[in-house]
C-alpha cells in the first residue's frame, strides 16, 4: 500500500477505516508511519488505541522509543499510559535511550522512567536505577528501589544495603526492606539483620523484623528476642502486639537452652503484667513452641492467673509439652466449675500419660 494513501485513510477515515488501516500497517516501514500511529492514540477510542499499542509492540525499533519518550510529559493520560505500556514491553534493548530521561527536569517523567526500567530486571537496568536513588524526589527514589527489588543479584543487594544506611525517608526505607525480601538471597537477609540491630525507629524496626521473618531461618528467634528486649528497655509499647505476632511466626527453635529460658522469662513477664490481655493470651500460645523446657512457665501461669482465657490456653499448652510434673496441678482443674476447662484438663492429663507410656 502507498504510504501517503495509508496516511490519508488514517487521518480522514472513519473509526472503522482507521482500524482497517492499522491492520495493514505491519507491512509498512515503521519510520514512515510512527507519527501517524501516535496521532491515533489521541483518538478517544479504546479499540483503536489498543490496536496501535499492539502494532508498536511488534515493532521494537529505536525510532519507536525515540518518538514515545516525549509522550511521558503528555497530559492526556490515555496517550501517556499507552506510551508507557509499549516502552515497558520493548524498552529492554533501549535502556540507554530511556535512562537518559532520568536527567529530565520534570519529576513525573523521571518517575515514569524508573517505573519503565524497573520492569526490565537486568544488570543494565540496575545501572540506571542506582543513579535514580540519588534523585531529590522521594517518589523517584521509591520507584527505583522497587525496580531493583526485581533484580536477583548480589550487586542489587549491595546497592540497597548502601541506600538503607543513608536513606532518611521512612516510606523509601520500607520499600528497601520489601525489595531485599523479594530478592531473597542470603546476603539480603543479612543486610536486614544487620540493619535491625542498629535501627532506632520502632516502625522501621517492625518492618525489618517482618522482612527477616519471611526468610524463616532457625535464628529468627534471636532477632525476636532482641526486639523484645529493646521494647522493654525503651518502652516501645506501640509494637508489643507486633512482637507477639512475630513470636507466633517462629517456626524453628534452635537447641539453645539459654535462649529458650530467656524467651520464656520475657513471655511470662508479659503474660502476667501486660494490660493487653488478648495479646497476653496469644503470648501463652508461643510458650508451648519452646518445648518441655518451658513447662514451668505454663505451670506458673496456672498457679497465678485465674482468667479463663489465659488459664485454658496454658492447659492447652501443657497438653502439648507437659510432663508428669504437671499432673498434680492439672488434676485440680478436673473439678473446675467451668466444664470446658475441666474437659481441657482431662484431655491434657490423658495426653501426658500417653506420652509417658510411649
| CA–CA dist 323, 348 (Å, integer) | 10
pLDDT at 358 over 70: no
pLDDT tens digits along 158-193 = 999 999 999 999 999 999 999 999 999 999 999 999
- 15, 18, 24, 25: CA torsion to nearest 10: -140
Q: How confident is the model at residue 1 (pLDDT cuts 50, 70, 90)?
A: low
Q: pLDDT at residue 151 above 80? A: yes
| Banded pLDDT at 153 (limits 50, 70, 90) | very high
Q: What is the CA radius of gyration of the chain?
A: 31
Q: What is the pLDDT of residues 250-300, one digit of tens each?
A: 666 777 888 888 888 888 888 888 788 888 888 898 888 888 888 999 999
pLDDT for the residue numbered 232: 67
CA 270 to chain centre: 29
What is the C-alpha to C-alpha distance for residues 311 and 301, in angstroms, rounded to an integer?
7
Predicted model pTM? 0.78
Query: pLDDT category, 239, cuts 50, 70, 90?
Result: low
Q: DSSP labels for 135-203? A: -S-HHHHHHHHHHHTT--SHHHHHHHHHHHHH---HHHHHHHHHHHHHH--HHHHHHHHHHHTT---HH
* Cβ atoms 224, 246 nearer than 8 A: yes
Average model confidence (pLDDT) for the chain?
A: 90
> pLDDT for 50-97, tens place per residue?
999 999 999 999 999 999 999 999 999 999 999 999 999 999 999 999
Helix (DSSP H) and strand (DSSP E) numbers for the chain = 22, 0
CA distance 207 to 196: 9
pLDDT at residue number 95: 97
> Exposed/middle/buried for 310, CB within 10 Å: 0-12, 13-18, 19+?
buried
Q: Is the pLDDT of residue 237 over 60?
A: no
Tens of pLDDT, residue by residue over 9-38, are: 888 888 888 888 888 888 889 999 999 999
Mean pLDDT of all residues in 213-235: 76
Going by C-alpha positions, the residue among 202, 223, 289, 208 that lies closest to residue 252 is 289
Amino acid at each position: 500500500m502507498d504510504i501517503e494513501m495509508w496516511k490519508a485513510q488514517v487521518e480522514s477515515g472513519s473509526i472503522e477505516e482507521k482500524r482497517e488501516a492499522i491492520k495493514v500497517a505491519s507491512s509498512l516501514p515503521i519510520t514512515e508511519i510512527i507519527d501517524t500511529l501516535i496521532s491515533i492514540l489521541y483518538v478517544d477510542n479504546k479499540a483503536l488505541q489498543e490496536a496501535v499499542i499492539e502494532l508498536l509492540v511488534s515493532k521494537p525499533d529505536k525510532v519507536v522509543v525515540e518518538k514515545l519518550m516525549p509522550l511521558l510529559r503528555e497530559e492526556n493520560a490515555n496517550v501517556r499510559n499507552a506510551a508507557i505500556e509499549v516502552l515497558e514491553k520493548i524498552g529492554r534493548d533501549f535502556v540507554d535511550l530511556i535512562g537518559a530521561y532520568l536527567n529530565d527536569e520534570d519529576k513525573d517523567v523521571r518517575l515514569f522512567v524508573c517505573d519503565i526500567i524497573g520492569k526490565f530486571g537486568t544488570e543494565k537496568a540496575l545501572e540506571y536505577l542506582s543513579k535514580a536513588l540519588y534523585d531529590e524526589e522521594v517518589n523517584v527514589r521509591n520507584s527505583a528501589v522497587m525496580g531493583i527489588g526485581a533484580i536477583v543479584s548480589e550487586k542489587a543487594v549491595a546497592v540497597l544495603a548502601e541506600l538503607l544506611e543513608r536513606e532518611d525517608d521512612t516510606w523509601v526505607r520500607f520499600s528497601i526492606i520489601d525489595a531485599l525480601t523479594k530478592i531473597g538471597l542470603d546476603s539480603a537477609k543479612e543486610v536486614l539483620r544487620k540493619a535491625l540491630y542498629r535501627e532506632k525507629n520502632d516502625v522501621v524496626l517492625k518492618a525489618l523484623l517482618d522482612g527477616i521473618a519471611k526468610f524463616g531461618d532457625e535464628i529468627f528467634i534471636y532477632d525476636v528476642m532482641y526486639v523484645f528486649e529493646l521494647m522493654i528497655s525503651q518502652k516501645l509499647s506501640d509494637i508489643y502486639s507486633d512482637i507477639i505476632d512475630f513470636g507466633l511466626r517462629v517456626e524453628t527453635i534452635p537447641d539453645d537452652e539459654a535462649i529458650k529460658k530467656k524467651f520464656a522469662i520475657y513471655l511470662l513477664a508479659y503474660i502476667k503484667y501486660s494490660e493487653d490481655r488478648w495479646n497476653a493470651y496469644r503470648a501463652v500460645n508461643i510458650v508451648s513452641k519452646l518445648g518441655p523446657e518451658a513447662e514451668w512457665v505454663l505451670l506458673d501461669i496456672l498457679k497465678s492467673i485465674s482468667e479463663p482465657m489465659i488459664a485454658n490456653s496454658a492447659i492447652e499448652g501443657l497438653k502439648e509439652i507437659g510432663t508428669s510434673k504437671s499432673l498434680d496441678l492439672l488434676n485440680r482443674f478436673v473439678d473446675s466449675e467451668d466444664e470446658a476447662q475441666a474437659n481441657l484438663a482431662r484431655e491434657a492429663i490423658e495426653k501426658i500419660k500417653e506420652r509417658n507410656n510411649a
